[in-house]
Structure 1
Amino acid sequence: MGIEDYGGGQTQSEVLIVTTNDVPGYQVTQVIGEVFGLTVRSRHLGSQIGAGLKSMIGGELKGLTKTLAATRNQAMERLVEQAMARGANAVLMMRFDVTEAADVGTEVCAYGTAAVISKT
């Protein structure tokens, strides 16, 4: 598995996603409001058994890392879809929230403020 299996971030999109309040060289011309992308994933039994065994001897749980990266990327894709549907070309102050969902999976929410920005 390569680094792309364990990383993430924005791919080519019409919506710029940043974790900052503003974007250097741009001005916010309209604030649309909060947007989010949500997904809940569960692990299959085989990966849970493997993770349990690996946790006894220590080390990275690569299967879980890969699953979490894919889950975060899916949440970001949904965030972008919602922002575009509302007319935004940027999401400011993007963050992730990760929680356990009723002991059956992991909930990942990507959220931020949808806005329209233009070059200054």
Structure 2
Amino acid sequence: MANMLVTTTEQIPGQNYTIIGEVFGLTTQSKNFVRDIGAGLKGLVGGEVRDYTKMLNESRNIALERLRQNAAELGADAVVMMRFDSGSISQDMQSVAAYGTAVKFTE
């Protein structure tokens, strides 16, 4: 599953396939007390809030793994047209969604 091809393009060079359907992976992460303190201090001086960046990167990886799992459960060989979306649910929660189209290779 970890080696399932996931691409942002519509076509996979050299492959013919049929569309299975929409797949997605979703995660929601909550900020923690230590990250909030660090972000507050960083807000005073400016610059990157590395703990939040790390949290969002981890969230992307989780969402992508869940997308692959969803595609595998449908019998897909790959996912095309993959996109990420993110947003705040509340002041201390962030969601990340990975979505795309599951496909099955044909001969």
TM over 0.5: same fold? yes
TM-score band, normalised by shorter chain: over 0.9
1:40-62, CA deviations, whole angstroms, 9 ceiling, x for partnerless residues?
A: 00010111111111021111111
Identity across matched positions, percent = 45
1:10-45, CA deviations, whole angstroms, 9 ceiling, x for partnerless residues?
A: x941x21000001111112x2011000000000101
1:89 corresponds to: 77
Secondary structure at 2:9's aligned position in 1? Answer: coil
Query: What is the correspondence of 1:53-72 to structure 2 with a 5 Å cutoff?
Result: 53-72=41-60
2:92 corresponds to: 104
In structure 1, what residue type is equivalent to 2:13?
P
TM-score norm. by structure 2 comes to: 0.93
Query: Structure 1 runs of 4+ off > 3 angstroms?
Result: none
* Counterpart among 24, 30, 35 of residue 13 in structure 2: 24
1:78-103, CA deviations, whole angstroms, 9 ceiling, x for partnerless residues?
A: 00000000000110000001010133
1:6 corresponds to: none
In structure 2, what residue type is equivalent to 1:78?
R
d(CA) in 1 for partners of 2:76 and 2:105?
8
Listed as ranges, the gaps of 5+ residues in structure 2 are: none
Q: Name the Cα RMSD after superposition.
A: 1.5
Residues 24 and 98, structure 2, Cα contact 8 Å, conserved in 1: yes
2:62 corresponds to: 74
Q: Which moved more, 1:70-79 or 1:59-68?
A: 59-68
d(CA) in 2 for partners of 1:80 and 1:32?
13
Listed as ranges, the gaps of 5+ residues in structure 1 are: 1-10
Secondary structure at 1:59's aligned position in 2? Answer: coil
Aligned residues: 107
